[in-house]
Amino acid sequence: MERQEACSILGLPADAGRDQIERRFLLMVKKYKRLQADEQPSPGEPIFAAVNDAYHLLIGYAPLKKPQMSELTWREKLVYFWDGYGMETTLALVLVFAIGLSCMGIFLLDRMIRTQPDEGVQSFIASEEQEGYDRANGITTARSEEKMEEKLKVGKPVPNFTLPSSEGRDISLKDYRGKKLVIYFYPKDMTPACTQEACDFRDMSPMLKTAGFEVIGVSVDNVKTHGKFKDKYALPFPLLSDEQHQMSEGFGVWQKKKLAGREYMGVVRSTFLVDEEGNLIQEWRNIRVKDHVQQVLAAAEKH
């Protein structure tokens, strides 16, 4: 028997090292002993004789070292347990390991859900919370039942503001003296509901101008994001950046919200009609996007 033939019997390449040969031989010994334990003629016995001869040719009669589990590959570990402890025990160990991994995954997922969502999740929450459920995960959500006292009154002046805008300059309420104005607050640029609302105002902008109204959009996004949003959807009106939510607080739209048991502060989607003197004509709070701009246009045409 030559080395190549001996290695072939052990199922190893011809250049296998001593440690590799010893690990393979030990696994075969354990399998052979398990077969011997069944008080039946073992079909593996004549085969094992050839295995034994192959090992002696390659290693000699030096004492066999028990392999360290850290030295074995995952496949060799599985074979080691399968041959040494039987199918039932091995499957039980694999099942316990899988259950442990599942529990760890559930724990980590729970921690992620309980912590502050990342920017992408916040964007989705901001745009979809008005619909009352989280479409992405199929988890129902609760609307906030707490309402901030509305400070604005019809016929009274709306709060003054001066904010950076998508136009590359600050925009103030005084810039629109002598003009009627539509101010709409929305939660987040580039999100589905907010994009639909912006495009609705874009499409209705000529008719609103005919009725004598200019349009301004406001959110807590920065100017850079506003610029991308405006360019992508060809919005013909400026977007104001209220990053410190001062204007949102002044109009009473920065409120506490609830979603899946989590409370957070955010913009409540709202729209305000303002006359030439800066007084409030009409307001819509906590609105739904569908058909909202048509309602605003109908009201604008009456004033």
For residue 113, the surrounding DSSP H or E stretch is helix 74-114
Using a pLDDT cut of 70, give the percent of the chain over it.
65
Residues 61-120: tens digit of each pLDDT: 544 455 556 666 766 666 666 655 556 666 777 788 888 888 888 878 777 665 544 444
Residues 190-241: tens digit of each pLDDT: 999 999 999 999 999 999 999 999 999 999 999 999 999 999 999 999 999 9
Boundaries of every domain in the chain: 3-111, 132-301
Whole-angstrom CA distances from 16 to 2, 3, 67, 70, 276 are 14, 10, 15, 19, 90
Active-site annotation holds for 194? yes
Distance of CA 166 to the CA centre of its chain: 28
pLDDT category of residue 13 using cuts at 50, 70 and 90:
confident
> How high is the pLDDT of residue 221?
95
> How high is the pLDDT of residue 88?
62
Which of these CATH numbers, 3.40.30.10, 3.40.50.1980, 3.90.1150.10, 3.30.200.20, describes 132-301? 3.40.30.10
CA–CA distance, 14 with 5 (Å, rounded to integer): 8
Most confident of the following: 34-48, 92-106, 145-159, 260-274: 260-274
Using a pLDDT cut of 90, give the percent of the chain over it.
47
Query: Could you say which of 7, 103, 194, 199 is catalytic?
Result: 194
Q: Comparing C-alpha atoms, which of 193, 191, 185 is closest to residue 119?
A: 191
Answer whether residue 130 shows pLDDT above 80: no
Q: What integer is the mean pLDDT of 126-142?
A: 42
CA–CA distance, 44 with 9 (Å, rounded to integer): 13
CA–CA distance, 251 with 246 (Å, rounded to integer): 9
